[in-house]
Amino acid sequence: MGIGNNGYIHDLMKSYCHYSILSLAPMPGNVSLIVDKLRTKYDPTIALHYTTPFELVIAVSLSAQCTDKKVNEVTQQFFPVLHGDPRALADMPIEAIEGYIRQTGFYRAKARNLQRMARALLEQFNGVVPDSMEKLIMLAGVARKSGNVILGELFNKSEGVVVDTHVKRITQRLRIVPLEQIGGKQKVYYEPNKLDYIRDASPEKIERELMRIVPKRLWNEFPHLLVKLGRDACIAQRPHCAVCILQPLCPVKRAV
Ligand code: SF4
């Protein structure tokens, strides 16, 4: 980070004062400082386990509506039978795929998508995971959000900021995104008259704000760090503010 802890907090609080008193525009510098601080505690890489691009596409597809921890448990059993070969998945009986991935939820739809994805990889891309959003979203089960994860992880390309449930909640708590710009009506209060976050805020609007506020060089790393903070300390209900590395500078920290 290049500056001591006291200097860091001083700089950040100065930025927050500027943000809250002089300007409503969140400052990109705040984000860089937050990322620097999070890096001292968390690994800024993806939590999903994989060893090949093909395995990453499978893991990302399975992670819809499922925790990364559960996906990793499932793929630990599933990947060895595929041997990294899209042909093995393309030819596997659908019931067998369902059996392997059942615990990730929505397993019937996911199994069908995985098989269609493997067949498309073979037929349209010679078995190689493509390196553009335009081509990735042609694969069954890969939407723009998954495409962003894959592009960032495999090709170090950034076409957006991935907004999952943790990023959605924590970017609001830290007031990185302006709450008046992100839609939603379900306001969650942590004390009477003290707004915590907006539960049904729009992920698309949050992503648009983050693409404006977060420096592009951090678009891949930033969500990975927030996901890890969200699992470790900044959980949805009763966050563990006393042990949170961002506690000294969080506008909605609980009394400790
Ligand atoms: S201080 Fe509490 S609310 Fe703020 S980021 Fe940390 S855990 Fe979340």
Query: What string of pLDDT tens digits covers the 256 residues of the chain?
Result: 333 344 444 444 444 443 443 334 455 568 999 999 999 999 999 999 999 999 999 999 999 989 999 999 999 999 999 999 999 999 999 999 999 999 999 999 999 999 999 999 999 999 999 999 999 999 999 998 899 999 999 999 988 999 999 999 999 999 999 999 999 999 999 999 999 999 999 999 999 999 999 999 999 999 999 999 999 999 999 999 999 999 988 999 998 6
d(CA 26, CA 31): 9
d(CA 56, CA 234): 26
- Give the phi and the psi of residue 158 in degrees, each rounded to 5: -125, 120
d(CA 210, CA 208): 5
Establish whether 66 is an annotated binding residue.
Answer: no
**Is 53-155 the same fold as 5-40+161-249?**
no
Hey, whose CA ends up nearest to atom 1 of ligand 1?
247
CA dihedral 59→62→68→69, nearest 10 degrees, is: -100
Q: Which helix (H) or strand (E) holds 12?
A: helix 5-17
Domain range summary for the chain, segments of one domain joined by +: 5-40+161-249, 53-155
Hey, whose CA ends up nearest to atom 8 of ligand 1?
234
End-to-end CA distance of the chain: 26
Comparing CA positions, the residue from 167, 157, 148, 248 lying closest to residue 213 is 167
Establish whether 17 is an annotated binding residue.
Answer: no
Comparing CA positions, the residue from 8, 86, 89, 80 lying closest to residue 49 is 80
- Are 169 and 236 in contact by the 8 Å Cβ rule? The answer is yes
Q: What CATH superfamily classification does 53-155 receive?
A: Hypothetical protein; domain 2 (1.10.340.30)
Instruction: Select which of 37, 110, 145, 228 is catalytic.
Output: 145
**Which residues does a 6 A CB cutoff place in the pocket of ligand 1?**
173-174, 233-234, 239-241, 244, 246-247, 250, 252-253
Q: Catalytic site residue 145?
A: yes
- Other CB atoms within 10 A of residue 160 CB: 20
Helix (H/G/I), strand (E/B), else coil: 191? strand
- Are 86 and 54 in contact by the 8 Å Cβ rule? The answer is yes
User: What pLDDT was estimated at residue 152?
Assistant: 92
For residue 239, the CA-to-ligand 1 centroid distance in Å is: 6
Widest pairwise Cα distance in the chain: 62
Substitution site in 173, 191, 196, 229 for ligand 1 pocket (most atoms within 8 Å of beta carbon): 173
Comparing CA positions, the residue from 251, 254, 253, 255 lying closest to residue 179 is 251
Say if domain 5-40+161-249 classifies as CATH 1.10.150.20.
no
- Other CB atoms within 10 A of residue 231 CB: 15
Hey, whose CA ends up nearest to atom 2 of ligand 1?
241
Q: Is the ipTM of this complex over 0.95?
A: yes
Comparing CA positions, the residue from 30, 24, 25, 84 lying closest to residue 54 is 84
